[in-house]
A and B are shown apart, each in its own frame.
Chain A
Amino acid sequence: MNFNFLQHFGRYILFMRTVFSRPEKLSMYYKETMRQMNDIGIGSLTIVVLISLSIGAVTAVQFAYQLGSSLVPRYYIGYVVRDITIIELAPMLTCLVLAGKVGSNMAAEIGGMRQKEHIDAMEIMGVNTAAYLILPKIIAALFVIPMLVSISAFVGILGGYLSSVPTGLMTGEEYILGIRSFFDPYNIFMMFVKGTVFAFVLTTVSCYQGYFVKGGSIELGQASTRAVVYSDILILLFDYLIAVVLTM
């Protein structure tokens, strides 16, 4: 069967309706949600920290280079690193990385269960598999990914400090002054909106890809790739849309 975009979209909406239905047994969903939080959160911490540290560091050095010997005060470096990490880099890069790591993993896990008839076996028992397998992942992601995004922002700002202060680009006082200047809490709000929306997009798109997989290991690999590619494209799209809507 050749599905076009609209058919996929329709099936995705119907799928979401089944996902958001009343759990058979709260304790089972709770247990599964905890397991997922651990997988997503602890499992992704290292890579998120590494990437955030380096983008913060590079942003600071690059911006210092751009300033050159202009009249713009040095402490602006701290201010720029703070805002660009909070508004854009932390939510977007974290979620692009998580789409690659968590999204592909979810698609492969659920797709494997589909192919090995585990999903059918659960359906026969009377389990609402769309809800039991996907809802805990969505809830876990909605909690954990925004947390990872805020960690990423914090570490990014730290990275800026580490690359500019010990190397003599500026003094510690200047950097601290920078990150305390012109602060607008609304930016934090934007960061959380982005983190939450991206988390929802990447988990549901990836789970959708896994849940409807057919065939064998080649199709499973393709589904896993599609999970990442479509999540990435949608994250970029929503990044733009949220930026437009929230800064109107």
Chain B
Amino acid sequence: MIRIENIRKSFDEVEVLKGISTTFHKGKTNLIIGRSGAGKTVLLKLLVGLLTPTSGNIWYGDVNFCNLSKEEVRAIRMEVGMLFQGSALFDSMTVEENIRFPLDMFTNRTAKEKLDRVNYCLDRVALNGSNDKYPSEVSGGMQKRVGIARSIVLEPKYLFCDEPNSGLDPKTSIVIDELIRSITVEHQITTVINTHDMNSVMEIGDNIALLYNGELAWEGNKNEVFESDNDLLQDFIFASPFLKRLRNAAVKNGSI
């Protein structure tokens, strides 16, 4: 579980996050949603310590992440996996080498044990046999899956995903979403996902936080999305006139 308290972040004079408090739960897919520029990536980077908050606290369980030394932060990071918006695969390494990198760096396992673990993770993301390909040789969706495999190879307790389905077609997006969700449940990971994809919201929104203008505009789960009368939320989820008509029709005939 991760709890954040009154997080603020400014760049120079501009305040990007204006006091956010919320909780991300274990074994759940926690979504941070909002329009482009709402501050989702900044919040995620604060959570993993790539940025430091101007004020506020971040609790990993009982540990205040903001008061830790560099070494203590590194210790927590052993339990953290992150999927970057652009996948951030090391392009001079093969798929296998990418996934094996954390094992090489932090474990003393034998070559055989490492290969077994890599193959297990590749299998988990349905990419068995792609070991020797280079990141530039596989599609965007496959790069995301390699990214997921790499982020779970050390069995993290916390998983962060920055727009896991940006740039992917709707079908592939759903595959990625389902993958993240099943891994989360299976290993009881605290997963935080940034997204502006309404399919993800409706499919894997165990716990949703809507950011608007640097503030927390709404919190709830996917079932509460329809019942909410929060205008910002409705406007975000049902962005197009078409979806608005669809929603109104559905509400009228009582199907949701």
Contacts and interface: CB of A to CB of B under 8 A. Distances in A.
Nearest to B107: A25
B124 interface: no
A219 interface: no
B75 interface: yes
Contacts of B91: 116
Q: Chain A, interface size: which category?
A: 10 to 19
Interface stretch (B29-37, B79-87, B126-134, B237-245): B79-87
Interface string A7-32: 00000000000000000110010000
Interface stretch (B17-25, B98-106, B204-212, B219-227): B98-106
B144 to A, nearest CB: 13
Contacts of B82: 121, 124
A25 B80 contact: no
Interface string B49-62: 01000000000000
Interface in A115-134: 116-118, 120-121, 123-128, 132
Contacts of B90: 118, 121
Interface in B78-121: 78, 80-82, 84-86, 88, 90-91, 101-102, 104-106
A120 B84 contact: yes
Contacts of A128: 74
Contacts of A127: 105
Interface residues of B, number: 22
A121 B88 contact: yes
A125 B77 contact: yes
A125 B104 contact: no
A125 B102 contact: yes
Interface in A70-129: 116-118, 120-121, 123-128
Contacts of B2: none
Nearest to B90: A118
B84 A125 contact: no
A123 B75 CA distance: 11
Contact of B86 (A117, A123, A124): A117
B43 interface: no
12 contacts: A25-B105, A25-B106, A117-B88, A118-B88, A120-B88, A121-B84, A123-B50, A123-B77, A125-B101, A125-B106, A126-B106, A128-B74
Given A121-B88, A124-B50, A125-B106, 14 more contacts: A25-B105, A25-B106, A28-B104, A116-B86, A118-B88, A118-B90, A120-B50, A120-B84, A124-B77, A124-B81, A125-B77, A126-B74, A126-B75, A126-B106
